[in-house]
């Protein structure tokens, strides 16, 4: 199975991909299938010298790419989107194989790439600047948006294809080139994805627009964040990583777009339609085995319905099919690796020692390996459970209670992260309070839908320790361009602003 997927994506015989059996002798990094633990293939890593060559090629490509008219850049991205359509099935399967997402989610991820490519094509004719009235006679003042440079993209393992596309498709129409450093937990998806884009761009006369570097954080990641040739580093991953990367980039006055960890809550008001709320919570809490930045980790339920909601969730959890992510009907696959399983077990143990009660799950799954049971934990009557302040990247849902909506909103906001949030309510008043200046402090706030599964049309990102960056839709493209304010004097007199006379 894995051989046919690699073959369909042109990875068999690819210069960076070696057979698993030859990985050790060729000094390659071995990639494992989280479902079985078996090695899939090896990938060769970059050295300082090859990293340097890729960035140099990206700088060179930027020199010409920036002057290609934006709508023509859009045509290149359109052709790339078409190519992703052709490879959707195989690439979606590779995502499942490499990171354990179920087939539907693997396909959904590639669909996001196709969608953002479409979005970027439209955007290529809409990189608008404003014209402002000048206070001086016979002057015109306006702003324009110009390409920024080669962009460094660092991506997390759990969106091995789409995060890169959110960045690189927008960057491409903005006139930037991209150098992508993927997670070493998902390098095969990265090689396949980058190859698709690079082949199209090269065939259309633009080699070097899509660069890829792979290596350890010490050898490649840290070199990249400190590299002054990359004016913007867009980094997706844990808040731990963002804290390091943000400081290194700030030190050289680079720009940083940080998309970091989340600790997302759903509030269930007593007026909520539970036929909407329960399936939405289940999808958001256990989808991708709890390994989404937008996974629902905290449930804040009105005290009058908490027993009913918990019982319904428990029943729903009992029907979830866990297993091979590529098998029909599977809803939850494995965690990414043994470390993730240990973190899951540690968090459950900690929750119990802090007074939490396991409603369901809490153990490794009988399938063994990296499979765990989706878990619900009721917090004690004190409504405090310190472990729930942390983002454990696993399917653990902590259930809190509230009396007044203001209290629920304070609990929603009472963690260090600020990515996604949701309220289920039929009360217009409570919904609007949740969205008001005194409401959710997160970058994403939803009413009657869950915390995960954002559309590409909106700006995606969050506040506080989530990093403050915005990617994907709306006007996120502005992060990939430099703004220039221009004033043109078409008169015959030199007039100074603020009426200053200098004579
Ligand atoms: P991670 O922080 O371990 O790694 C993310 C990326 O950062 C990897 O490519 C890694 O190699 C790189 N990296 C780590 N240290 C670095 C350094 N010092 N210099 C340069 N690069 C470095 O995260 P992960 O385990 O791959 O992914 C899970 C995390 O990502 C979770 O916290 C999740 O919430 C977050 N995430 C956030 C978003 C978002 O959009 N907000 C999306 C996906 C994942």
Residue 492 pLDDT: 98
For residue 222, the ligand 1 atom closest to its alpha carbon is: 19
User: Which residues lie across from 146 on neighbouring strands?
Assistant: 482
- State which of 167, 237, 257 you would mutate to test the pocket of ligand 1, scoring each by most atoms of that ligand within 8 A of its C-beta: 237
Distance 437 CA to ligand 1 centre (A): 30
Distance 241 CA to ligand 1 centre (A): 6
The active-site residue out of 98, 293, 391, 465 is 293
Lining ligand 1 with CB less than 6 A are 154-159, 181, 183, 217, 221-222, 225, 236-238, 241, 244-245, 259-262, 293, 391, 393, 419, 466
Distance 452 CA to ligand 1 centre (A): 18
CB burial string 478-494: b at 16+ within 10 A, e below: ebbbeeeeeeeeeeeee
How many H helices and E strands in the chain? Answer: 14, 22
Question: Are residues 335 and 379 in contact, defined by beta-carbon separation less than 8 angstroms?
Answer: no
391 is catalytic: no
Render pLDDT for 378-396 as a digit per residue (tens, 0 to 9): 999 999 999 999 999 999 9
Q: Which regions of the chain carry the CATH code 3.40.605.10? A: 2-260+467-484
Residue 498 pLDDT: 97
Residue 484 region by backbone torsions, left for phi larger than 0, else alpha for psi between -120 and 50, else beta: beta
How far apart are the two ends of the chain, measured CA to CA in Å?
81
Nearest to 282 by CA among 240, 247, 310, 250: 310
For residue 182, the ligand 1 atom closest to its alpha carbon is: 9
CB burial string 151-173: b at 16+ within 10 A, e below: bbbbbbbbbbbbbbbbbbbbbbb
Distance 383 CA to ligand 1 centre (A): 30
User: Which residues lie across from 43 on neighbouring strands?
Assistant: 17, 29
Nearest CA to ligand 1 atom 35: 237
Distance 467 CA to ligand 1 centre (A): 12
The Cα–Cα gap between 234 and 167 comes to 8
Distance 407 CA to ligand 1 centre (A): 32
Q: Residue 265 pLDDT more than 90?
A: yes
Q: Residue 370 pLDDT more than 80?
A: yes
Residue 168 pLDDT: 98
The per-residue pLDDT of the chain, averaged, comes to 98
Residue 55 pLDDT: 98
Residue 9 pLDDT: 97
For residue 156, the ligand 1 atom closest to its alpha carbon is: 26
Which residues, other chains included, contact 65 with Cβ-Cβ below 8 Å and sequence gap of 6+? Answer: 73, 147, 172, 175, 176, 177, 206, 209
- State which of 34, 241, 242 you would mutate to test the pocket of ligand 1, scoring each by most atoms of that ligand within 8 A of its C-beta: 241
User: Which residues lie across from 459 on neighbouring strands?
Assistant: 472
User: Which residues lie across from 327 on neighbouring strands?
Assistant: none
Q: Which regions of the chain carry the CATH code 3.40.309.10? A: 264-457
Q: What is the mean pLDDT of residues 230-236?
A: 98
The Cα–Cα gap between 73 and 130 comes to 22
Q: What percent of the chain has a predicted confidence (pLDDT) above 70?
A: 100
259 is catalytic: yes
Domain 2-260+467-484 class, CATH top level = alpha beta
For residue 393, the ligand 1 atom closest to its alpha carbon is: 31
Sheet containing 17-18, strands listed edge to edge, beginning at the edge strand earlier in sequence: 17-18, 39-43, 29-32
* Coil, strand or helix at 358: strand
Domain 264-457: what homologous superfamily?
Answer: Aldehyde Dehydrogenase; Chain A, domain 2 (3.40.309.10)
Q: Residue 1 pLDDT more than 90?
A: no
Render pLDDT for 101-149 as a digit per residue (tens, 0 to 9): 999 999 999 999 999 999 999 999 999 999 999 999 999 999 999 999 9
For residue 184, the ligand 1 atom closest to its alpha carbon is: 11
For residue 391, the ligand 1 atom closest to its alpha carbon is: 32
Distance 238 CA to ligand 1 centre (A): 4
- State which of 156, 230, 463, 464 you would mutate to test the pocket of ligand 1, scoring each by most atoms of that ligand within 8 A of its C-beta: 156
Query: With bands split at pLDDT 50, 70 and 90, how would you rate the model's confidence at 2?
Result: confident
C-alpha R_g of the chain:
24
The active-site residue out of 259, 391, 465, 471 is 259
Q: Residue 243 pLDDT more than 80?
A: yes
* Coil, strand or helix at 372: strand
């Amino acid at each position: 199975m894995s051989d046919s997927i690699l073959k369909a994506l042109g990875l068999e015989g690819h210069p960076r991909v070696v057979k698993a059996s030859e990985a050790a002798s060729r000094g390659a990094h071995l990639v494992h299938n989280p479902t079985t633990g078996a090695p899939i293939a090896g990938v060769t890593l970059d050295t300082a010298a090859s990293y340097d060559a890729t960035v140099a090629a990206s700088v060179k490509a930027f020199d010409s790419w920036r002057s290609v008219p934006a709508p023509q850049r859009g045509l290149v991205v359109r052709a790339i989107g078409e190519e992703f359509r052709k490879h959707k099935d195989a690439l979606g399967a590779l995502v499942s194989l490499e990171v354990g997402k179920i087939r539907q989610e693997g396909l959904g991820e590639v669909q996001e790439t196709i969608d953002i490519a479409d979005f970027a094509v439209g955007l290529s004719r809409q990189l608008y600047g404003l014209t402002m009235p000048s206070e001086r006679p016979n002057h015109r003042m306006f702003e324009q948006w110009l390409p920024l440079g080669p962009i460094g993209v660092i991506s997390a393992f759990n969106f091995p294809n789409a995060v890169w596309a959110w960045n690189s498709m927008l960057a491409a129409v903005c006139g930037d080139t991209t150098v992508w450093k993927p997670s070493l937990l998902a390098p095969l998806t990265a090689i396949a994805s980058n190859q698709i884009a690079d082949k199209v761009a090269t065939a259309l006369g633009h080699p070097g627009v899509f660069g890829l570097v792979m290596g350890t954080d010490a050898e490649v990641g840290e070199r990249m964040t400190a590299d002054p040739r990359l004016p913007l580093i867009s980094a997706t991953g844990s808040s731990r990583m963002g804290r390091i990367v943000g400081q290194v980039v700030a030190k050289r006055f680079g720009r940083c777009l940080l998309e970091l960890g989340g600790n997302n809550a759903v509030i269930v008001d007593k007026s909520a339609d539970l036929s909407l709320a329960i399936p939405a919570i289940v999808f958001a809490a256990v989808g991708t085995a709890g390994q989404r930045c937008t996974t629902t980790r905290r449930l804040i339920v009105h005290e009058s319905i908490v027993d009913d909601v918990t019982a319904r969730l428990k029943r729903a959890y009992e029907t979830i099919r866990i297993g091979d992510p590529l098998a029909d009907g599977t809803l939850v696959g494995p965690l990414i690796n043994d470390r993730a399983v240990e973190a899951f077990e540690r968090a459950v143990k900690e929750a119990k020692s802090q007074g939490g009660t396991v409603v369901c799950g809490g153990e490794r799954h009988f399938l063994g390996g990296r499979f765990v049971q989706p878990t619900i934990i009721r917090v004690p009557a004190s409504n405090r459970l310190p472990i729930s302040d942390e983002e454990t990247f696993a399917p653990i849902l902590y259930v809190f209670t509230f009396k007044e909506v203001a209290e629920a909103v304070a609990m929603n906001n009472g963690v260090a992260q600020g990515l996604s949030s949701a309220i289920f309510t039929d009360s217009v008043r409570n919904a609007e309070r949740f969205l008001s200046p005194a409401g959710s402090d997160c970058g994403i706030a939803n009413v009657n839908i869950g915390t995960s599964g954002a559309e590409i049309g909106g700006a995606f990102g969050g506040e506080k320790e989530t990093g403050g960056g915005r990617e994907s839709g709306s006007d996120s493209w502005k992060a990939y361009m430099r703004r220039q304010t221009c004033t043109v004097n078409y008169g015959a007199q030199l007039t100074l602003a603020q009426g200053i006379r200098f004579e």
